[in-house]
A and B are shown apart, each in its own frame.
Chain A
Amino acid sequence: MSETNDNNIGNTENTENIDYMTDSRPIAVGENTPGCKKRDPIVVAEDVTRSFGGINAVDVEYLEIPRHKITALIGPNGAGKTTLFNLLTGFDTPNTGKWQFEGNSLAGVSSYKVARMGMVRTFQLTKVMGKLTVMENMRLGAADQPGERLSKALFKGMWGGREKEITAQANILLEKFKLDAKKDDYAASLSGGQRKLLEMARSLMVRPKLVMLDEPMAGVNPALTQSLLDHIKNLKAEGMTVLFVEHDMNMVRHIADWVVVMAEGKVVAEGPPGEVMKNPAVIDAYLGAHHDVDLGDAEGIKELEAELEADDESVVGTEDAGILSEITEPTEPRKEEGK
């Protein structure tokens, strides 16, 4: 623990004149191995385990999340990503382990205090307050509203001013998230993707130091994803740290500075995106051998076919060859790789 602190101190002298967007100093101290030390960690988890009826959902020996970086947490379904989020933010209690945020131990700290310290998460299963308007949802996110205390709630003079600031902040965010037209509608009337957007925007209302997004782009259309990715990148410029879970590898490649791969509860690989995605263990456990082929167009399918033909384990190009090529005809429904 003292080592990490030393690192922090060694770093503070020159943090002021660093532009987080272009900062290209190495993230890890030394090798990019699973559980490696970071130059400037914001979260440090040690020996955090959580089991559900004998299954180890999370079993993280050591993990550091780098500050002022965008970290992607990837891994197969059921790898324990969401559970790790729950544990780190106090929504679930681990069986063992300790973890800290900016040097403060978080073991036993309740979830709302964790959020107040600046570590705010979103949920994979979106949670919006259905019978509040989109605007009220956003306002609810804001911190330091004195009117949220019972003693001051009765006197609008004491919170009206802050409410105006909050509303202005919310308007800016809603515009970025393309929800401004919806702001007076009930959140329950939003579509699935819009709810994801609202939840993410609301978490930013807290102005967190670390924002943890659980599959933020699931169900969001490509054009909006693009603009939001830029927005997330820009959060870094404001000094925020981002940790997100995502199954869309394009997004990971596009914005992540660092990738942590989990499988069966353990951290199995870490590193910059390019490096991690070439890691055979990651390809095996998660990505699949042909992850960089785009199955959406004919070109990609041909490429895949060629690749598969060269692959001994595949049946393509042998007598058992399936119906893969039929897919190129646009009217045919897409079928599984042949039997």
Chain B
Amino acid sequence: MDFGFIFSSALGELFSPTTAAYALAALGLAVHFGYSGLLNFGQAGFMAVGAYGFAISTLTFNAPFFVALLISVVCSVIFAFILGIPTLRLRADYLAIVTIAAAEIVRYVVTTNQLTKVTGSANGLAAFENTFYAMNPFPEGSYMGMNNRDFFIRVVGWGLVIVCCVLVWLLMRSPWGRVLKGIREDENAVRSLGKNVYSYKMQALVIGGILGALAGMIFTLPRGAVQPSNYGTELTFFLWTCLLLGGMATVLGPVIGAMIFWVVLSLTQSLLYGLIESGAVTWLTTVQAGQLRYILVGVALMLLMIFRPQGVFGNKKELAFA
């Protein structure tokens, strides 16, 4: 087995654009659940809205990059309002149900054959990333073993993660963030102090949703394709895994959580493949190994919940009162 390769590919996952996308989307979940107590089980839906919003406006309307970006953000805001208006006045569980359903609805809508011209149906859309790479300031060449395109998307993706983390951190230490945390603890108490709880929840839903949409774009750009199957319910649950791994009411937690998630996936995959290829393991096929690693992620999550339930960055003291 080539351990050097195994570790270098695991290390590569650490800063891959997909990890950046997961980090952003999980940060959105932290805003929703960790800080505001909003149970969003449809973050994949926000990512899909972001990705399709960008791809469709680029392909169908020939929109320049920043216009397409703006459209996709606006779409995610509208999506947040559609989800929030009927549910945010109700108990927390209703939002959970509605978001799961809405994310699935988005996926089915883009899959329908009637919309093939616009959404590409099950095959999805491709070749919308040129407006993005046209802005690449890095000339061709090798950047730490990457070509200039791979390097550019990483710089943009992680730059975005850093900017968003700083913004979320600034927001959450402000009195505005304090109101959100108060709502998470007891919304009637916050109401009795004269704060418009509904409006705060809506703002949090929108902000987390925008982070999801940006994540959707970072997720699709390096792939050069957007496909409905990428935005299934399991994506949402992977994001929740990242959030739980890192710690819920923290800014760095979701980022580190996403990194751990992908490194663990990559390590287990390479190790299992290596073992199978070297003949040490004969009772597994490589396909089964691919499935087994998700089981291992689940086991890792269980161990974490048992031994460090607050996540990597979470505050143990907070948990004592959960």
Contact = CB atoms under 8 A, between A and B. Distances in A.
A148 B176 contact: yes
Interface in B179-208: 179, 181-182, 184-186, 188-197, 203
Interface stretch (B134-142, B167-175, B212-220, B257-265): B167-175
A20 interface: no
A123 B269 CA distance: 54
B177 interface: yes
B195 to A, nearest CB: 6
Given A115-B193, A130-B321, A131-B321, A154 B186 contact: no
Contacts of B190: 129, 140
Contact of A111 (B179, B191, B318): B191
A129 B193 contact: no
B317 interface: yes
A148 B194 CA distance: 12
B193 A140 contact: yes
Given A120-B194, A123-B192, A203-B192, A147 B185 contact: no
- With most chain A CB atoms within 10 A of its CB, the pick from B193, B196, B320 is B193
A164 interface: no
B97 to A, nearest CB: 25
Interface in A127-180: 127-132, 136-137, 139-141, 143, 145, 147-150, 153-154, 156, 159, 163
A202 B186 CA distance: 14
A105 interface: no
B192 A120 contact: yes
Given A116-B194, A127-B188, A139 B178 contact: yes
Given A150-B203, A153-B177, A203-B192, A132 B197 contact: no
B193 A132 contact: no
Contacts of A82: none
Contact of A145 (B175, B197, B317, B318): B175
A112 B175 contact: no
A140 B192 contact: no
Nearest to A188: B321
B167 to A, nearest CB: 7
Contacts of A150: 171, 176, 203
Interface in B130-178: 167, 170-171, 174-178
Contacts of A154: 167, 170-171, 174
Contact of B181 (A89, A120, A121, A132): A132
A206 interface: yes
Nearest to B194: A115
Contacts of A203: 192-193
A120 to B, nearest CB: 7
A62 interface: no
Contact of B185 (A113, A122, A132, A159): A132
B318 A148 contact: no
A141 B193 contact: yes
A96 interface: no
A205 B195 CA distance: 13
Interface of A: 89, 91, 111-113, 115-116, 120-123, 127-132, 136-137, 139-141, 143, 145, 147-150, 153-154, 156, 159, 163, 186, 188-189, 199, 202-203, 205-206
Shortest 8 CB-CB contacts between residues of A and residues of B: A188-B321, A115-B194, A153-B176, A147-B175, A129-B185, A153-B174, A127-B189, A116-B194
Given A149-B176, A188-B320, 15 more contacts: A112-B195, A113-B194, A115-B192, A123-B192, A127-B186, A127-B189, A131-B318, A132-B178, A147-B175, A148-B179, A150-B203, A153-B176, A188-B321, A203-B193, A206-B193
15 contacts: A111-B191, A112-B191, A115-B191, A123-B188, A128-B186, A129-B189, A131-B318, A140-B178, A140-B193, A148-B179, A149-B176, A153-B176, A159-B174, A186-B317, A202-B193
Interface of B: 167, 170-171, 174-179, 181-182, 184-186, 188-197, 203, 249, 317-318, 320-321
